[in-house]
Chains A and B, each alone.
Chain A
Amino acid sequence: MKRLILTLFLASSLITAPLMAADANGANESTAVYRTQWHKDMLAGYQSLATQSQALESQAQTYCQSPSSEELEATKRLWLDAFLAWQQVRFIDFGPVEENNRAWQFQFWPDPKNLVARKASYLLKDEAPITPEKIGESGVAVQGFPMVEYLLYDQTFSRSESALPAGRSCQLLVAVTRHIARNGETLANDWKGFQSNYLGSEQYTDTTIRAAMAGLEILEERRLATPMGLRGNGKRSIYSADAWRSGASLIAADASVQGLKKHFMPAFSKLLNDREQTDLAKRIEQQFEEVLANFPELDRPMAPLLSDDNAFKPLQSLYVDLTQLTALVNDRAAVELGVVRGFNSSDGD
């Protein structure tokens, strides 16, 4: 039997210091200035996603009209560019990206049951034409970057009869890239339309900071620690990583950190500085540089790094740098600002 730790009633521990807290005069101190900056910075990220997705769609059409190995390589390059543009804004988990599960549409992951491959096989065997409507009703495992990655990179698939540029596979490639491009365009437009609600609601400041915190946590825990065998059964497994088919797991991590630096940090640093957390702001900025210093050396496939203990070391360094960044943002800064992510609040029921 464990005796509870009965604490003295420092009731202050019950209180968070929400960012919209009333000041001494009872007036609400608006944080709209930070949201103005965030809105602008995130719009740039969404616009880049829209542009890159359109370039991918158009290249997929070019390739399928006149297939060649050069055009296939060009399609792979543009898939990566668009995928990395998504990685930069992937942490934004509120606002228009929530509608119709758009974030899941861009990237259905994790996929422990390999639904992407199963759905692809089902669609390619089916006789019905692959129309935009068909893609629209086929679920999130079909609608995003992992499906295109499967068609372009999956080793078993690319040795099969259905491999690109087979007609039906090309139809699927063009249809899915079109779906991604439409979603990218809609998302950028909807983000513009979201401006007045975003600027007008104080709670979006907390929401934005929580989004960055969640993005860092997912990166550390699910995108790195899990495939590195630091969680669960302790076994290293590339199949727990995202984008393992293309070997883009780590360059995607690089892009996600850069995305946080570009689209989140400017307003966040300003907020910390305004709250007289200058040292902390500086430490976080420095830690971003520490993490990014692991790249571009680590912009390479993760699988070989998992199978060799020597090669594993640079991955461990990245992981350690990232845990320090997460600790600074999610523990230090969040506590200073009174932003809480909890056992119940971050994943409810």
Chain B
Amino acid sequence: MPELTRRSLIKATLAGSAALTFSGCGMLPRKAGSNSPQQYTGAIGLADGRFAVGAIAPSGQMLWQAPVNTRCHSGCNRPGTAEVLFFERRPGWAFYVLNSKTGEQRHRIEAVKGEHFVGHGVFSPDGRYLYAPVNRYEPGEGIIAVYDSHQNYRRVDTFELNGIGPHQITMHPDGQTLVVGLGGILTHPDYDRIKLNLPTMKPALVMMDRVSGNILARFRPSHHQLSTRHVDVSPNGTVFAAYQYQGPIHELPPLVARYHNGHYEEVDFGESVHRELGNYIASIVAHPENELVAIASPIGGTALIFNGRTGEVIEKSAIADCAGVEALAGGDFLVSSGRGKLVRMGKGKPGVEVASMPVQWDHHLV
């Protein structure tokens, strides 16, 4: 797999300066396969220790920064509208509804008593219902909380997950099935972020009907400490799950799983690649235009692209503290880092830094 060799560095440098010389801006292509606004929105930490949500345009401009009370994690665009939501980081006591054009705050919706958000959510395809994974922390139960945006985000339903520690949620292209990463880790806000049940974790990839709340399928990883956190689905319905291993770092278990045609299997990248991923994946994104899937590991300081069908590693870059991933029109990916970098990479294109700014990007871009 090509490392960032000296030669590719020189090539990257030249390509970069050419772009700067010839276009100056318009560095990034459009966002791939998406009806959402043509911008990238992420939770950020600011140099002075405060937190915000920020959106950048493909031209590389920071469009807006909306101040928030505490560190946020991820969010979702509301289909068919100019609204973007961001969730406070676990334990998240609220989510913010922002105007995606201006960053203006429309709502700040607090969690129900005894519950907290976990940093993620997704809308129904018509943009009406918000599905947010939630921890009910006294009994330690994971649920999906349903909010109705037509009623100022009133809570309208609750679906039981029969498990602990839900994290990322996404919508299957069938428009009907929610795909949920059930991390399996029990936490309680009184106990900081201590993981209270490492010996007895039961992580899973869960499929749920978004109307009835029925659990349609549940897949367990090969080891009970493979916390199944992040998920994505390709347009053909292949589901990808990314793990964070809770065991010791000298053990190198698989970190990615794939579900397709009724078959759940884990992808083995080989020991040396696993070592570079530090047993931790922050984001997984399946490209809507091709078979490629990108993952980023801030612990390993590694972002890589693999073929979602074969599991073959296609490209790999060392990017310190990288975490956020978004698909770009044309087949490439954009990776963000806690050091304010935006890096573009694709098949045959090792990482090229396209922007650097004095902010810390949290785990996800939406």
Interface residues of A (CB under 8 A from B): 1-16, 18, 94-95, 98-101, 104, 108, 110, 113, 115, 139-141, 197-198, 200-201, 203-204, 207, 340, 342-345, 347-349
Contacts and interface: CB of A to CB of B under 8 A. Distances in A.
B338 A345 contact: yes
Given A200-B250, A343-B362, A349-B73, A11 B355 contact: no
Contacts of A10: 13, 353
21 contacts: A1-B61, A4-B61, A6-B356, A9-B15, A14-B343, A15-B318, A95-B248, A100-B199, A115-B191, A197-B248, A200-B250, A203-B275, A340-B301, A342-B320, A343-B339, A344-B282, A344-B360, A344-B362, A345-B280, A348-B299, A348-B363
B1 to A, nearest CB: 14
A340 B62 contact: no
Contacts of A348: 244, 280, 282, 298-299, 363
A82 B15 CA distance: 60
Contact of B299 (A13, A198, A345, A349): A345
Contact of A7 (B65, B89, B298, B355): B355
Contacts, number: 159
Given A11-B353, A100-B198, A344 B61 contact: no
Contacts of B360: 342-344
Nearest to B167: A349
B321 A344 contact: yes
A243 B339 CA distance: 35
B9 interface: yes
A14 B250 contact: no
Contacts of B60: 4, 6
A340 B321 contact: yes
Contacts of B339: 342-343
A77 B45 CA distance: 44
A88 to B, nearest CB: 22
Given A6-B27, A16-B318, A11 B299 contact: no
A14 B353 contact: yes
Contacts of A108: 191
Interface of B: 4, 8-9, 12-13, 15-17, 20, 27, 45, 56, 60-65, 73, 89-90, 119, 167, 190-196, 198-199, 229, 244, 248-250, 275, 278, 280, 282, 298-299, 301, 317-323, 337-339, 341, 343, 351-358, 360-363
Given A16-B320, A348-B280, 7 more contacts: A3-B61, A4-B60, A9-B16, A15-B318, A203-B250, A340-B321, A347-B193
B28 to A, nearest CB: 11
Contacts of A200: 250
A332 B73 CA distance: 29
A342 B296 CA distance: 14
A94 B249 contact: yes
Contacts of A8: 13, 16-17, 20
Contacts of A99: 198
A204 B249 contact: yes
A344 B17 CA distance: 29
Given A2-B62, A110-B192, A203 B278 contact: yes
